[in-house]
């Protein structure tokens, strides 16, 4: 009977562990994958003894080492959820084993479940690091090991020794920024992380798909605007998505007032537009702001920038780091040897065709000058032209807009709406101007309808401009 009961208990334990594993795995795989992918982007595990001995030293070295080693696999979508789920189930199992030394089966199972849920919720924190989950598991394993001694005195002595070892090797399983005690899943931030990642991978259609549900945040607007600009549609669809009420945030500068994700996105914008000095500053700032002051995504971006700009020695410095990693090795070796694929040659050629040759980091108030420099280097730089014209529209600067608007080079709905506003400021549009800018009767009729039913035209430049005019009148009153 005793053996039968033990078998039933094991089966029950395996059943609960299996359910917990599947629940965690499915959640992080389906609903929360980019939360884990973000960890890989902010981590860099280099297989080099000098690097490892220098970085992973001092209190908490073991949990930091194991956490960083695990994080490098999170870039593969299924591996991150697998590793995290195994760690969480292991925490529950070890907790149950410890509790069974003192408590009954049901209460032990309840405590194990509570610790599993608590650790699961911690894993959902935005900047959480895997090392803190490993530290919790490590301390639990050390506690279980101490309980294996039979004599009470031996148990107490072992517990003290092992606790001291744990404090040295594992550190404190808590950090106010990257290892908070409590956490709650945030699907909003998960979507933002997804947009950020897809933007870095240049999956513009996927970014726009994720933008269909407007999150009304600066980061979401930055992602949406860049994706539309890269597809040549920003002048048509700028106001199909919410924009920041502060015009200066249409193209914000890198600032300590922003979080790491926003500064990273600003760098992505300038990388695609062709100012690699600002893009490089963004990558370096992101490295400094990351929890461990490192990150494969930022190191790779710095390598790409210096390859494009011809800084061979600097690019080799970053490539030699990436060459000693698991997942970036092949790419880094290819770049070092100059054996470029067609895809490699395409992004290098594009970057060199649009880059400015300025080496200074500009101030925020000369963003427009940077865009003009980019267009002087390459007039066919459509994304830069889109940003220049839309930046003028966002700032209600129709005078400057008209200086650089050429309907033969780039035409779009919002630009024509701005033309109608500017040319019609005296109450009528000259026929000659209407023909020059191809303003058909349908557009003029729509403009007339707009003044009667403005709420039906919320995605037009007319609505945006009229809203500012009304707000200015209210402030004047």
pLDDT at 254: 80
Average pLDDT over residues 184-190: 93
249: pLDDT confidence band, cut at 50, 70 and 90? Answer: confident
Q: What is the mean pLDDT of the chain?
A: 89
21-30, 109-118, 350-359, 409-418, range with the lowest pLDDT: 350-359
What residues have CB less than 8 Å from 92, skipping those under 6 apart?
Answer: 17, 20, 112, 113, 115, 116
Q: What is the mean pLDDT of residues 209-230?
A: 92
**Chain CA centroid to CA 58, Å:** 30
Domains of the chain listed by start with CATH number: 2-169 (no CATH), 187-354 (1.25.40), 411-477 (no CATH)
Q: Which of 78-82, 161-165, 247-251, 471-475 has the lowest mean pLDDT?
A: 471-475
Q: What pLDDT sits at residue 477?
A: 42
Mean pLDDT, residues 242-255? 80
Query: How high is the pLDDT of residue 471?
Result: 47
Mean per-residue pLDDT, 353-377: 78
Residue 300, token pair as written in the block: 């790779």
pLDDT band at 135 (very low <50, low <70, confident <90, very high): very high
Which residues, other chains included, contact 293 with Cβ-Cβ below 8 Å and sequence gap of 6+?
287
Strand ranges, E, within 373-422: none
* End-to-end Cα spacing for the chain: 89
pLDDT band at 433 (very low <50, low <70, confident <90, very high): confident
pLDDT (0 to 100) of residue 360: 57
Phi-psi region of 216 (alpha: psi -120 to 50; beta: other; left: phi over 0): left
Strand partners, 175: 179
Q: What is the pTM of this model?
A: 0.90
- Has residue 63 got a pLDDT over 60? yes
Least confident piece of the model among 119-128, 327-336, 447-456 = 447-456
Q: What is the pLDDT of residue 176?
A: 83
* pLDDT at residue 132, as a whole number: 95
Summarize the confidence of residues 333-358 as an average pLDDT: 92
Helix (H) or strand (E) holding 22, with range, is helix 2-26
Nearest in space to 425 (alpha carbons), one of 392, 395, 402 = 402
Give every CB contact of residue 153 below 8 A, 6+ residues apart in sequence.
none
Instruction: Please report the pLDDT score of residue 362 as a whole number.
Output: 53
Going through 297-393 in order, the beta strands assigned E by DSSP cover none
Read off the pLDDT of residues 155-180 as tens digits, 9 standing for 90 and up.
899 999 999 999 999 999 988 888 88
Phi and psi at 175, nearest 5°, equal: -150, 140
Q: How many CB atoms lie within 10 A of CB 105?
A: 13
pLDDT at 120 over 60: yes
User: pLDDT (tens digit, 9 = 90+) per residue, 13-42?
Assistant: 788 899 999 999 999 999 999 999 999 999
The model's pLDDT over 283-311, given as tens digits with 9 standing for 90+, comes to 999 998 888 888 999 999 999 999 999 99
Alpha helices (runs of H) in 274-311, residue ranges in sequence order: 276-289, 296-308
pLDDT value, residue 247: 77
Confidence of residue 427 (pLDDT cuts 50, 70, 90): low
- Label residue 470 by pLDDT band (50, 70, 90): low
C-beta of residue 328 within 8 angstroms of C-beta of residue 300 = yes
pLDDT exceeds 90 at position 318 = yes
More confident residue, 200 or 438: 200
């Amino acid at each position: 009977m005793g053996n039968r009961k033990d078998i039933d208990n094991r089966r029950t334990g395996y059943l609960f562990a299996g359910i917990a594993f599947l629940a965690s795995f499915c959640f992080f795989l389906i609903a929360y994958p980019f939360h884990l992918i973000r960890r890989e982007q902010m981590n860099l595990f280099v297989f080099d003894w000098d690097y490892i001995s220098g970085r992973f030293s001092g209190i908490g070295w073991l949990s930091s080492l194991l956490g960083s080693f695990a994080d490098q696999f999170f870039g593969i979508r299924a591996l991150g959820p697998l590793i995290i789920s195994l760690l969480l189930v292991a925490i529950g199992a070890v907790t149950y084993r410890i509790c069974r030394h003192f408590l009954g089966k049901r209460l032990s199972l309840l405590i194990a479940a509570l610790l599993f849920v608590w650790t699961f919720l911690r894993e959902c924190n935005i900047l959480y690091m895997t090392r803190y989950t490993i530290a919790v598991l490590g301390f639990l394993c050390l506690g279980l090991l101490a309980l294996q001694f039979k004599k009470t005195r031996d148990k107490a002595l072992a517990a003290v020794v092992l606790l001291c070892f744990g404090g040295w090797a594992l550190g404190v399983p808590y950090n106010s920024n990257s290892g908070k005690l409590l956490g709650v899943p945030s699907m909003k931030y998960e979507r933002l992380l997804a947009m950020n990642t897809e933007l870095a991978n240049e999956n513009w259609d996927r970014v726009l798909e994720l933008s269909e549900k407007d999150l009304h945040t600066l980061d979401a607007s930055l992602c949406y605007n860049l994706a539309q600009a890269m597809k040549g549609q920003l002048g048509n669809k700028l106001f199909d998505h919410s924009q920041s009420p502060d015009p200066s945030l249409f193209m914000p500068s890198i600032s300590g007032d922003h979080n790491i994700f926003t500064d990273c996105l600003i760098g992505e914008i300038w990388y695609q537009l062709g100012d690699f000095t600002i893009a490089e500053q963004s990558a370096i700032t992101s490295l400094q702001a990351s929890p461990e002051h490192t990150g494969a995504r930022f190191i790779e971006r710095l390598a790409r920038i210096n390859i494009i700009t011809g800084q061979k020695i600097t690019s080799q410095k970053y490539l030699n780091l990436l060459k000693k990693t698991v997942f970036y090795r092949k790419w880094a070796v290819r770049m070092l040897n100059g054996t470029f694929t067609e895809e490699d040659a395409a992004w290098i050629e594009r970057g060199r065709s649009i880059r400015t040759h300025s080496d200074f980091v500009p101030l925020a108030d000369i963003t427009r000058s940077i865009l003009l420099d980019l267009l002087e280097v390459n007039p066919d730089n459509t994304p830069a032209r889109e940003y220049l014209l839309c930046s003028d529209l966002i700032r209600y600067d129709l005078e400057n807009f008209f200086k650089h608007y050429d309907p033969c080079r780039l035409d779009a709905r919002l630009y024509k709406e701005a033309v109608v506003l500017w040319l019609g400021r005296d109450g009528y549009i000259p026929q000659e101007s209407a023909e020059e800018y191809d303003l058909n009767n349908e557009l003029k009729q729509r403009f007339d309808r707009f003044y009667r039913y403005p709420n039906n035209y919320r995605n037009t430049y007319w609505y945006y401009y009229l809203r500012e005019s009304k707000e200015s009148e209210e402030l004047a009153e």
